[in-house]
Amino acid sequence: MVNILIVEDDIDIAQGLAEFLEPKGYLLDFAYHGKQAINYLNKHHYDLVLLDVNLPFINGFDVCRSLLQDKLARLPVIIMSARGTTEDILKGFDSGAWDYLVKPFSFAELSARISANLAKAISVPKKVLYFNGVELDESTMTFHFENKVMQLHQVGFDIVKTLLNVAPNVVKTKVLHHALWGDDTPDSDPLRAHIYKLRKKFSQDFGQSFITTIKGVGYRFDFL
């Protein structure tokens, strides 16, 4: 059985989620503020977290950041928030969330996102990819370059893996969409936000962004 933690302070919304998800066979726990969520996450195993942002005591972004990097890399966290600006979405991904749903959203979209993220979490990486001194360890989802290591979250890992698999060739945008979301590509395209986050982190840790945009086509893994 899939165990989901729902972190939502609005009782009506939490009840609506329960009425939709329980008939699908999911086991549900509920936390109604940030401190309670962190306590549950430290004590119990969950397969996925649905996380509101505007929570009492500790907000959703900080709840996400509180998770250990190795745990966050394998635990799908889907942020659900009425805060839908680009800045908010980027902040959500930067906190380590795998996905971001802007309220109000349809239950059909929520179901698709849950299924897609659970499928990613189930897959077990088994090898190391190499390209011009870069190593991508699929067992730990870590990026290695010049004796430095960066931990990747699931979506960032999937992007880098897709690019490295064909480097130095270009990956078309639609191919990346399919690699990340299959046939359930979100209406609001978060790919640019993920690419922005990766470039920023790569630049901070390694002094170069590695990912080049090929205008009108897609993206390529590249060096300075």
Q: The domain spanning residue 25 has which CATH number?
A: 3.40.50.2300
What is the residue-wise DSSP string for 67-111?
S-HHHHTTS-EEEEES--SHHHHHHHHHTT-SEEEESS--HHHHH
Same-domain check for residues 110 and 8: yes
Other CB atoms within 10 A of residue 8 CB: 24
- CA 7/CA 64 separation, integer angstroms: 11
Same-domain check for residues 132 and 107: no
| Residue 77 contacts residue 98 (beta carbons within 8 Å) | yes
| Residue 77 contacts residue 146 (beta carbons within 8 Å) | no
What domain range includes position 74?
Answer: 3-122
Q: What is the pLDDT of residue 146?
A: 85
Q: What is the pLDDT of residue 224?
A: 65
Same-domain check for residues 110 and 132: no
- CA 193/CA 67 separation, integer angstroms: 21
What DSSP state is assigned to residue 54?
S
Q: What is the pLDDT of residue 45?
A: 81
For residue 158, the SS3 value is helix
Beta strand 27-31 with 3-7 is parallel
Q: Which of 102, 122, 142 is the last residue of a domain?
A: 122
Q: What is the pLDDT of residue 12?
A: 95
| Residue 64 contacts residue 51 (beta carbons within 8 Å) | yes
Q: What is the pLDDT of residue 24?
A: 95
Same-domain check for residues 182 and 151: yes
Same-domain check for residues 217 and 180: yes
User: Could you tell me the mean pLDDT of each successive run of 10 residues in the chain, 224 residues long?
Assistant: 94 96 96 94 88 96 81 86 93 93 95 93 69 84 87 90 92 90 72 91 94 94 82
Q: Which of 101, 122, 143 is the last residue of a domain?
A: 122
Same-domain check for residues 68 and 157: no
Alpha-carbon torsion (183, 74, 29, 95), positive or negative: negative
Q: What is the pLDDT of residue 102?
A: 95
Same-domain check for residues 112 and 136: no
Instruction: Measure the CA angle with vertex 93, ends 68 and 160; round to 5°.
Output: 90
Domain count across the chain: 2
Burial class (CB in 10 A: 0-12, 13-18, 19+), 66: middle
Q: Which of 88, 122, 156 is the last residue of a domain?
A: 122
Other CB atoms within 10 A of residue 182 CB: 13
| Residue 5 contacts residue 46 (beta carbons within 8 Å) | yes
What DSSP state is assigned to residue 22?
G
Q: Which residue do the tokens 């880098």 mark?
A: 160
